[in-house]
Structure 1
Amino acid sequence: MADKENKTPFYKRWWFWLIIAIILLFALFGGGDDEDPVEEENATEEIQDDGTDTTDETADNKQGTNDNAGEEAEAEEPATRDNSNAEETTLNAGRFIVGEDIPVGRYVITGDGMGNLFVYDENGLPEVNEILDNTGDTGVTSITTNLEAGQEIEISGLNSVVFKPAETSLSNTLSAGSWEVGLDIEPGRYNVTAPSGMGNFFIYNEMGLPSTNEILDASGELGVKQLTITLEEGQEIQISGLNEVDFESR
């Protein structure tokens, strides 16, 4: 009997198949556990890759936003006038044509003594009608206005009138002359007063129609002492007979 068992092939013995079964069970269950960390590692790498890409895209978007902000800041530089054609000119009493006797431009006009200054448009209508008085007692000490081709200047009672090219800057104090909202004063809501004297105060819209027409009087006897207004970009302000008008932001 012992010789028969020794001659039986090993693959027909019970312990051989037990070993095979154990190996198969280990392969089925133990191998699956080995693969899970690899899959988790790959998933982690994918998440990290996605996160890195997202960060790069966010940084690029922020950089693009900053660049656009810089371009907008450059585009929002304060507006100004081209007054390069204006030249300082002195005229005596008489009549003169803009574009012939004096270049087109924006000027600050002052006189030696006291007299009248008129500027007429091409239809002969007066756009400027002021008494220039270097003392400021009877008239205004200066007028700031635009002179356009074809207009006629009339000077009376003055030996000399000086026309100096005007510089454009924002201010809350304006004198006699014409001014544009956005170039000479910021848009906004203001209380308007004149510290002394009496004169006319007009505001024209972009269509050239008057939206405000008041007499400002520091004493309040013949006009208003204070006016509350809202100034909008592009509107024109005209001041006549007053050396100074103050705009206090509300």
Structure 2
Amino acid sequence: MKRVIPILIVGLLLASCNVESETEVSEVYTDQQQKIIGEEKNEMLGQTVAPYTNRELRDEQYSQDEVFLDYVHGDGETLSLSPGRYEITGSVSGNINVYNDHDDLIFHDILGSDYGVGSITVDIDEDFTIHADAGFNSVMVTPAEEQQSNNLTAGHWEVGVDIEPGDYLISSSSRIGYLQIHSNNKDTQVYEVMGSEFGSTESEVTLEEGQILRITEISYIHFEPQ
């Protein structure tokens, strides 16, 4: 019994240290303002052209398509759809690229599995295409639901249509990803968003009518009104 007591005391002390360590990590983790600037920002923005949304695709009653791809092989599959707003989902994982009518890349992300986002939501206009790389067991493209939300998933979103203008605190519990805020007359802002079981980063953002948001590499971002 004399040997058991010291061992228990040491164990309790170690457990206490671990709890304190995790608490400290969580506090530091949640207080950081994760705005990306400089060369890292320019490199990130240079990978795609400006994001695209079109309010007319929501105002008018377009006859939107619904497509299911089963086992994508070889060079992948390229889809040309009727204009509209679509949600893309898939099983296993692979790259999804969205191109505009000039064949410029407007959106890219890894979709599916533990390594990708859960869904991608984008506006598809005339002569836009969606390319799914080989590797998917399935890819489904369906008309997106139209409703404002403070939880936005990967894709393109318009302030005033998909989310109200205002001041927000952004966070997530879904790993690491990025929020881009694009304006016609202001410099693009880029934020890194990180979340885990220990906590999440929190950054203050102001959203203005007509701005376009691009969310990548993360399944969702929560916008808490301030």
> How high is the TM-score relative to the length of structure 1?
0.59
- Give the 3-state SS of the residue equivalent to 2:108 in structure 1: strand
Match for residue 78 of structure 2?
96
Q: Is structure 2 residue 111 aligned with structure 1 residue 129?
A: no
Quote the offset at 1:95 in angstroms: 3.7
Structure 2 length-normalised TM: 0.65
The answer as to 2:164 corresponding to 1:182 is: no
- Give deviations 1:44-78, integer Å, cap 9, x for gaps: xxxxxxxxxxxxxxxxxxxxxxxxxxxxxxxxxxx
Shift of the 210–110 alpha-carbon distance from structure 1 to 2, 3 Å rule, reads farther
Q: Greater helix share, 1 or 2?
A: 1
Matched-pair contact (CA < 8 Å) for 2:84–2:125: yes
Change (3 A) 1:210 1:84: farther
Structure that is richer in strand per residue: 2
Partner of 1:215: 192
Per the alignment, residue 246 of structure 1 pairs with: 222
Per the TM alignment, residue 123 of structure 1 is displaced from its structure 2 partner at its CA by 3.5
Alignment deviations for residues 11-37 of structure 1 (CA, whole Å, 9 cap, x no partner): xxxxxxxxxxxxxxxxxxxxxxxxxxx
**Count of residues in Structure 1 that have an aligned counterpart in Structure 2:** 161
Q: Is the 8 A contact 1:194 1:244 kept in 2?
A: yes
Matches within 5 A, 1:15-94: 81-82=59-60, 84-91=62-69, 93=72, 94=76
Structure 2 residue matching 1:241: 3-state secondary structure:
strand
Q: Which has the higher contact order (CA 8 A, sep 6+)?
A: 2
CA distance in 2, matches of 1:152, 1:210: 28
- What code does the residue aligned with 1:162 have? M
- Relative to structure 1, the CA distance from residue 91 to residue 81 in structure 2 (aligned partners, 3 Å threshold; closer, same or farther) is farther
Q: How far is the alpha carbon of 1:97 from its aligned partner?
A: 4.7
Identity %, equivalent residues:
35
Mapped to 2, the partners of 1:198 and 1:81 lie a distance apart of 34
Retained in 2: the 8 A contact 1:117–1:132?
Answer: yes
Distance 1:189 1:112 in 2: 35
2:125 to 148, 160, 169: 148
Work out the CA distance in 1 between the residues paired with 2:59 and 2:204: 28
CA distance in 1, matches of 2:215, 2:187: 13
